[in-house]
Amino acid sequence: MSATTQIPGPASATCRAAAASTRQHPSDGPDPRRWLILAVVALAQLMVVLDATIVNIALPSAQHALHFSDVERQWVITAYALAFGSLLLLGGRLTDLIGRKATFIAGLIGFAGASAAGGAAGSFAILVAARACQGAFGALLAPAALSLLTTTFSGSRDRGKAFGIFGAIAGAGGAVGLLLGGVLTEYLSWRWCLYVNLVFAAVAALGALALLRSQPSADRPRLDLAGLLSEAGAMFCIVYGFSNAASDGWHSPSTWGFLAGSAVLLAAFAWWEARAGQPLLPLRVVLDRDRAAAYVSVLIAGAGMFGIFLFVTYYLEETLGFSPVSTGIAYLPMVAAIVACANLANIVLLPRIGPKVLVTSGMLASAAGLAWLTRIGVHSSYAADVLPPMLLAAAGIGFIVSPSMNTGTSGVRNDDAGVASALVNTGQQVGGSIGTSLLNTMAASAASAYLASHLRLPALAAGRPDPGLLEIAQVHSYTTAFWWAAGLFACGAVIAALLFRPGAVAQRDSE
């Protein structure tokens, strides 16, 4: 007998959800336009996901054009992450309160406007402000997109296919951003890494206006301001604290002070949500074991993926001499592997064996792939030493992200779909911030320690280390980061094995 997802008050909750679904979708059959809606939603999701990496490729050119320092450079990335991570839960709740179509279109328009401002930026301050606005509107757009997918394919046999495609985009979008960013920067300008969002947003907005039904909330409860302030503050402190760790170190008050503050605010948020009459995050969403495991799995995968995208990119460009475009092309096999495995996991395997085996296996495969990557050296080759472990890690990511997204949004009431979707996105975003700071810090420490232990005294006194030694130290820092990322995935395998229920998860509204 397969395990079923349990939520408090299952009979009454199911009746309410069924009633809401009937009001919003009068016909009993699936929406005939569902695949077009999937294309629109997937395009919007691709825009949000790739924007986390496409700007990384453009940063050196932007820094040269706008004359900002290396210390300031991190704020182009951090401003986006801070706004996005802090406001995601608010975006999810607004999706449930004011309607998915309205929130989705507002997010697209706002994201496009912020991208245009960033592309036209004439100063560092304007660029950072535009990136923060991108993050804020992305926090509105991302949960609306996943919520639309959840409700459009609710009760449909095509749900597995839809989530397979959507999960593949979430997993591979970062690599696509590296390729697109390299092409645009090399052949046009760094500004087009921001302007390109206007094309994505325009097509998605036109499709949304033509295809989506207005789905206003049946009631309009008050927004939980106390919950919002504590949650947004906690997410801000987490992202800011880990971002400071990458630049100032773990012993800096700006690191541990903000991380301690995030723990206090999260505790206050949980205490308040258990007592609030109209909570920002209804605890029934996270108290289900399968959904909780899915959110944690997405967070760990988000952190571990940066061990691939960030340091493989450094290795290919700085050690093997790849151009930005060549680096992007080198990721294409990985993208194909993620897409294939995400669809295999969701369409074929998830309905039969459930998320426990899939996600645990995916974590182990990604851990093994990253451990394999630690064998690279200064004179390694892409085809023999980088591509095979990348494909293994990519297969693992496909088995993690897509089933976790499906499980994390299944079985929820229609009026909780936005919040459940926001939690999935929050896990990926916060995980990425943690991964960036943790792995960067460990890599930098490893390089410094290696140089300190291998420098000869004359070179040390002259301050001119052997260039070959510097290159070896650099590769050593990458392999150290890969070991840490492998450890993250290994821990994720243990957590997934313990938290997920065995067997296939029966969809509440399956046919």
pLDDT for position 14: 36
Mean pLDDT of 234-256: 80
Cβ contacts of residue 234 below 8 Å, gap of 6+?
261, 262, 265, 266, 269
pLDDT at 279 > cutoff 90 = no
Interatomic CA distance for residues 509 and 499, integer angstroms: 23
Check residue 506 and give its pLDDT. Answer: 55
Is 50 exceeded by the pLDDT of residue 435?
yes
Lowest mean pLDDT among 82-91, 294-303, 375-384: 82-91
For residue 350, pLDDT over 80 is answered with yes
- pLDDT, tens only, 126-155: 999 999 999 899 988 888 888 888 778 766
Beta-ladder partners of 4: 506
- pTM equals 0.79
pLDDT in tens, 467-480: 678 888 889 999 99
> Would you say residue 8 has pLDDT above 50?
no
CA-based torsion, 319, 322, 324, 330: positive or negative: negative
Q: Which two tokens stand for residue 342?
A: 């995400």
Q: Which residue has the higher pLDDT, 9 or 411?
A: 411
- Which of 150, 102, 42, 35 minimizes the C-alpha distance to 508? 150
pLDDT of 179: 84
Residues ≥6 apart with Cβ < 8 Å to 88: 139, 142, 143, 235, 422, 425, 426, 429
Contacts of 22 (CB under 8 A, 6+ apart): none
pLDDT score for 17: 38
Looking at residue 155, what is its pLDDT? 62
Q: Average pLDDT of 406-416?
A: 80
pLDDT recorded at residue 9: 36
For residue 450, the tally of other CB atoms under 10 A from its CB is 19
| Residue pLDDT, tens place only, 477-489 | 999 999 999 999 9
Residues 6+ apart with CB under 8 A from 375: 385, 479
More confident residue, 489 or 417: 489
Residue that the structure tokens 């951090």 belong to? 78
Q: Where in the chain is the domain with CATH 1.20.1250.20?
A: 33-214+282-499
Lowest mean pLDDT among 40-54, 115-129, 175-189, 408-422: 408-422
User: Would you say 309 and 175 are in contact if contact means Cβ atoms under 8 Å apart?
Assistant: yes
Asked if 450 and 331 touch (Cβ cutoff 8 Å), the reply is no
Cα gap 224→90, rounded to integer Å:
9
**pLDDT level of residue 16 (50, 70, 90 thresholds):** very low
Q: What is the pLDDT of residues 100-128, one digit of tens each?
A: 888 899 999 999 999 999 999 989 999 99
Taking the CA atoms of residue 72, residue 77, residue 83 and residue 88 in that order, the dihedral angle to the nearest 10 degrees is: -160
Q: For 320, which DSSP code?
A: S
Q: Which of 47, 13, 34, 6 is nearest to 151 (CA)?
A: 34
**What is the tens place of the pLDDT at every residue in 42-98?**
888 888 888 877 887 777 788 888 988 756 777 787 788 788 878 888 888 888 778
Instruction: Determine the 3-state secondary structure of 213 from DSSP.
Output: coil
Q: Which one of 1.20.1250.20, 2.60.40.10, 3.20.20.10, 1.20.1270.360 gives the CATH number of domain 33-214+282-499? A: 1.20.1250.20
Distance between CA atoms of residues 55 and 177, nearest Å: 8
Position 269 pLDDT exceeds 70: yes
* 3-state SS class at 4: strand
* Residues 200, 195: Cα–Cα separation, whole Å: 10
